[in-house]
Structure 1
Amino acid sequence: MSSSTSFFKRYAQVIFWAIAWATSFIGWYMSSLYPSPLWGFMIWGPFIGGALVTMLADGRQGTKTYFSRIVRWRVGIQWYAIALLLPVALRLAALGLNIISGATVTATPQFMSGEDLIFELIFIVFFISLGEEPGFRGFALPRLLIGRSALAASLILGVLHAIWHLPLFLFNGDSPISVPIIISGAVFFTWLFNHTNGSVLIAMLLHASVDISLLFFNPLFTGADAVRQTVWLVVVFVAAATLLVIVTGRELGRKPEARADNLSLDAMPAIE
């Protein structure tokens, strides 16, 4: 093993997150100064960072594995259903709680036009989900799982992922109330990852469903009711993630043989 390869193996996570965070901060900051759709390509920082560091640290075989996870589709049909429907179910639960607590669905919700909606769907699936999940779930998660419980790995990744979103709060005016959703949501991603042999495709579908369902639920409320809907969504996400941990345990369905503290990345049964 060359000294450069050894260096990239040792500091793979540090280098990956430096690339992911740098592209996010630079992209959103420059977008706030010089608005242009081109800055949107910085969303692909996690994908590019994961691919680059994998190539430098793990060579051709590691790179092949990195990309193969993106198209790993041979998993049980139930996991496709869960990835697509879980976010919808959680949003429906939040909607119900919001209505029970006094909110009123607006009589004239402002949904996107058909053409804009199609564009947004394509953007979410092939730009946002594909730009983020190969890096976060295909690169970072397998490494965080080594020597840690699945719950610990999920929470660490959730916090690091939330930091990646920080420029949205600083430069784009987004509310940081979504941070608990990002962190608790990481538990669902890891649970699916553990049950689908490390399929990044399933993670992409879950991510896409979270974002796409937002387009249909957000216009249903306005003003204080809209704020309360988001608060209820945080409550539902955190409660559901907590329940999942109680039911499945700290390993979130991971096999015991994948938990050894000295397990190498290549030996992890969940991602071979």
Structure 2
Amino acid sequence: FLFLKLENKTKGQLQKQICRVVLDHFEKQYTAELGNAWNSVRDVLTSPLCWQHSILLNRFSSCPELENSLCVQGYHPAFQGGLPYLPAAFKCYIRRTPERFPAQKHQAGKLKEYYLLNAASLLPVLALEVKDGENVLDLCAAPGGKSVAILQCACPGRFHCNEYDDLRARWLEETIESFIPEPLINLIMVSKLDGRHIGDLKPELYDKVLVDTPCSNDRSWLFSSDIHQATLRLIQRKELSYLQFQLLR
């Protein structure tokens, strides 16, 4: 049954249509910026099966059967020895043959067992080396994967998850509700502040700050079904670098 679900999802991905407007824009921009390297980058961007997704286990809803099943299916730990910071409770799996694992649906009052995300997204979390009791700010937190990952590593004394966009903030709240139990969830503050001003509002309050600034999200827009929205997004992405600079200053 699980194999059939995966197979159906894979077929659905293969049927995605590339938005020609976006691809043409990328051809011009990235050929100039990357030169010959753009050819291999384009191959990955246009092939969803090449995107390496990982499975981050939720330590608050541990399931030994799931971990054993992953090993049987050829998954292995994404991060192994040699890293300066790798908490024992932090468990993430990938497999050499790219494949999408079925996502779990949100169910009120029930914790999910795992979170699906790109393995590279976890590197900033590990680099932060969060310790129990530290005050942590996730400045641009939605959809919440890195916030969940931080809580797999440690229990901050104060954890502030911020997301300025209303829709994404609701997504963030749902993610936290799906992965974090009481009473820990009561120690998490979710806000919708303009991240450019938090440093002035709360100077020197946080020990660690994670800033995953808004990005162009090229992979998603490349498969956009709305040409008008895709064109508008291409115009808006030109302003992202200035916003990123303001958030990081």
TM-score range, shorter chain: under 0.3
Return the TM-score normalized by structure 1: 0.25
Q: RCO higher in 1 or 2 (8 Å CA, sep ≥ 6)?
A: 1
* Structure with the larger helix share: 1
Return the TM-score normalized by structure 2: 0.26
